[in-house]
Structure formats: C-alpha cells, structure tokens
Structure 1
C-alpha cells in the first residue's frame, strides 16, 4: 500500500509495532518501556500538507509537552508518513527544528531526536546495521524531556556512549534480515 493511502490507524499500528519490537524489545532506549506501559507516550500522526503546517503542529506539540505533567505525557512522537520521503531533506529540516526549540526557549528542556526509514549515519557504510538505531517506519520527530533523558542515562550507569555502543552491537548482530523479520507484520 503506498504511503499516501495509509490510514492514521495503520501509521499508529506500524509505529507501535516498531516501539514494542525494536525500541523496547531490543532495549534500544532504556526508558521507553516504563513510559510506554504507563501510556505516557503521545503519538501524533500529522497530515500537514506543507512544512509551515507541520511546523505549526510541532509548535503545538512542544507547548503541550512542556505544559503537561510528565505523568500524563512524558514524550511525544510526531509522525508524518508522507511529507519527508527523502532522508536528506528530513535531516536538513532538523536545523529548522532546532531553531523552533530555541524560539520556544526550550533548549536544555526538550530535545528532538529524528527517525526515518532511510536514516544514515554520516561516515558509515550504507548497509551498516548501525543505521537501524534511528530507523522508524515513517519520518518521526521524537520530543524528549531532557530531565527524563538524564534520568534514563543515569539508570544505565551514566554513560550515554555505552548505550549507543550497545545498540550498535545489538543491531549488527541482528543484521538487516533480522531487522526486517523483527518488524514484519504479525
């Protein structure tokens, strides 16, 4: 089914499957399980038709996140299944996202991680499974509370680099075929 025909329900189901099987199942994010099982992860499917409308949604989601207790919404995934088919365009767009966070005066309060189906780390071979750490079914902005990230890293021994190294080792062991099988539909 082409991305244009995907329903919001399908995008949500695919995103939840990725969270449950990859992010939590492979323990790629040390704090994902606790907030996910407590329903503190907000997943928003955007249907914005252009960047300005998507930025308006980002503004609203940033405001909602910081003005809602973490016990209700600890983190938000803003997913757009069609606006960013090209990874390079999406990756360049992150400069604008950083500017938006600064405009909201949220530097040090909220950080935004990006995920994309074709995510590539600079300097790594295109077929290296390390890229899977930032691959999601659809282009996704992950709005994270900095204090939650700090607590999660501290609970893992305080060394974020070790988490990254562990994730890369896990995904290299899993390999491309394992990744594909992991996220295949039930």
Structure 2
C-alpha cells in the first residue's frame, strides 16, 4: 500500500488500483464511484477571533489561506452562492501536498482551509473548526476506485473493491449509520 496524494500511473508503476477523489477526466481505466465528498471552507474559532470572519469569498484574498498543492483550481477557489458563481484568487501563506497537514495547520490557528468533509467533519462537529460562508458552496467530488482492466481482476483486488464500496456506501448514508450498533 502506498499513501500519496499525487496521481500515479497504475499501469506504468504496477499498482493494482487507486482511490481518487476528483472530478474524473475520461480515461482508459475502469472506475467505480464509491461515494461523494463536499469541499468545506473552514477555520478555527481562534483564527477567526484574531483575524475576523470573512463574509464573502472575495474577502479570502485578504486572509491567511492554507492551500492544498494538488487542488485542480490552483490558488483560485470557486464557490456557488446567492449571486451565482464567485471565484477568488487566494494568496496562500502555506501550500501543502497533504490534506491532513492543511487540517493540522488550521487546527493550529494558522488560517483558512478548503478541505473535504470526511477530513474535517469531526472537527466541525466538535467546534475545533467552524464552517465559513455556508451559503457559498464549493464543489462536490466523487470518491472513485480505479483499476486498469475488468479482465483478470485478482480476488484480493475484487475483495478490496467490494469492501470499499460497502463501507463507503455505509458511511455516506445517514440512515444506514443510524441502524448501526453503538459501542
């Protein structure tokens, strides 16, 4: 298992499969959508107390932004809001190639992040991070498993694909979660 945020070449590098969180371009790879994730704009309450709470996406240009290096839009963040689509060019104080690092920087009160809800959901629920401008929505991304071919899928790869499909369907469906036993 390799954990990397870069896009690997499955065939060239010899990987059995990859998990990608993206809007997938056309490809010769086989893909199966497992779930979706919403990108959430958020910051710590302490950062917001010190720097102020932005009320419009254009105000992000004046804030400390912690940016994910592989974001498809680069440093330009786009939102859909009450007046339609709004784009803002941010000036990140930190770039990271890892979402967990962006999250840790936000939890350390260093700035505003745009990260997937599965990464920041617990922090939002606990109040460690606060969602900003919920009336301005960023994009939803698919969570996909990709593999080179439908032919000759090994039993271990098929088992992992089936497990991921079942688990991610469960975790993204609140009605299934409600039926789960609680420890």
Structure 1 or 2: more strand by fraction: 2
Structure 1 or 2: more helix by fraction: 1
TM-score when normalising by structure 2: 0.25
Structure with more relative contact order (C-alpha pairs < 8 Å, separation 6 or more):
2
